[in-house]
A = this chain, B = another copy of it.
Amino acid sequence: MLHVTIIGMGLIGTSLGMALRSADEKDAPLGKILLTGYDKNPRAVTDARGRLAIDREARTLKEALHEAQLVIVAVPVQAVRQVFEEIGPLLPNGAVVTDVASTKAQVVAWARELLPRTVQFIGGHPMAGREKSGPQAAERTLFERAIYCATPTSETGERAMQVLEALVEQIGAKLYYIDAAEHDAYVAGVSHLPFVLSAVLVDAVSRSAGWKEMQPLASTGFRDISRLASGDVEMHRDICLTNHEALVRWIDEATSSLMNLREAIETQDSQALTQFFEQAQAGREEWLQSKPNMRPGEEFFENFGAGQAADRPSLFGRWGKPKQK
């Protein structure tokens, strides 16, 4: 019986609980688990219990961490530091601690600073989400087939990696080992820049004098490109604060691209416009085509030397252990 504690019963924490508990105990990679949930807002814990995301509600952090063997910190990234401070003295020896925050370098630094040497930490980031937040928005299947980043450091122990691997397998996600700084730079481009552009679109049109009249003309294109603007304000703010350097670099890239396109539009340069949209179309097609190849242990390893053992997860930028076929 593994004692698992989830701190933070928001969208991710609650969805994780639902996904973990719905696994068949006999085949579950983590084995039999006892899941305890905690949130500074007791209402969220009750809601999570009501959604069958946890076995037990904890009213204090001390209660939540008693006998805990795997602790998942599922709070917004700016709150992680304080949670680490508070749980530091309460963590049982040998516990594995992980988090789910959207940026990782800062979290890894906080873990090094604030968590005791008697526990093992490994950073995590499931690449899944919804524009809604809170336990009521949670979904048992949120992580199915999603990429789950893990950012071990040279200090990360074998057990932490094994436990996280089992957790990721149990919720149906795919493990992806990556360096924390690289993670932050990449997700700033494919995850944070998208919500920035989405919010900018809504900001630009909703400040317009014609906004009321424009609303009925907005169709599926607007709906999709503006979707992330409905996302959690606190999460967006915290990501901007903790990943500001990488994000500003991407904003500058996007601005430069936008200026190129603006120039082509203003000068009515048909050829430049065709080229721009063709490249964008091809870029997205490349991404779409890449998706079916994302099987653990396959293809990705071809980029590495054959001398490197494929089942060692300690090399950054690699898929997790190949599954038995």
Q: Which residues of A contact B (CB under 8 A)?
A: 127-129, 146-147, 149, 176, 178, 182-183, 185-187, 189-191, 193-208, 210-211, 213-222, 224-231, 233-234, 236-237, 240-241, 244, 247-248, 250-259, 261-262, 264-266, 268, 270, 273-274, 276-288, 290, 294, 300, 317
Contacts and interface: CB of A to CB of B under 8 A. Distances in A.
B254 A200 contact: yes
Given A191-B221, A237-B270, A280 B213 contact: no
A61 B119 CA distance: 78
Contacts of A203: 257, 261, 276, 279-280, 283
A312 B225 CA distance: 35
A186 B210 contact: yes
Nearest to A278: B233
B204 A253 contact: yes
A240 B262 CA distance: 9
Identify whether the interface residues of A are mostly helix, strand, loop, or mixed. Answer: helix
Contact of A219 (B129, B199, B278): B129
List the 7 closest pairs (A to B, CB-CB), nearest first.
Answer: A206-B283, A199-B280, A190-B218, A194-B225, A127-B219, A229-B280, A204-B253
Contacts of A222: 190-191, 194, 287
Contact of A225 (B198, B244, B251): B198
Count of chain copies: 2
B231 A281 contact: yes
B284 A265 contact: no
Given A216-B290, A255-B255, A189 B205 contact: yes
Contacts of A282: 206
Given A251-B265, A283-B229, A287-B226, A277 B199 contact: yes
A281 B190 contact: no
A273 B215 contact: no
Of A207, A224, A248, chain B has the most CB atoms within 10 Å of the CB of A224
B204 A237 contact: no
Contacts of A182: 210, 213
A186 B219 CA distance: 12
Contacts of A256: 204
Nearest to A273: B237
A231 B219 CA distance: 15
A291 to B, nearest CB: 8
A185 B211 CA distance: 11
Contacts of A285: 230
Contacts of A202: 280, 283-284, 287
A261 B176 CA distance: 31
A149 B217 contact: yes
B248 A265 contact: yes
B240 A264 contact: yes
Given A147-B219, A206-B287, A247-B265, 15 more contacts: A127-B217, A147-B217, A186-B213, A189-B208, A191-B218, A191-B221, A195-B225, A197-B258, A202-B284, A203-B257, A222-B287, A224-B224, A230-B281, A233-B277, A234-B274
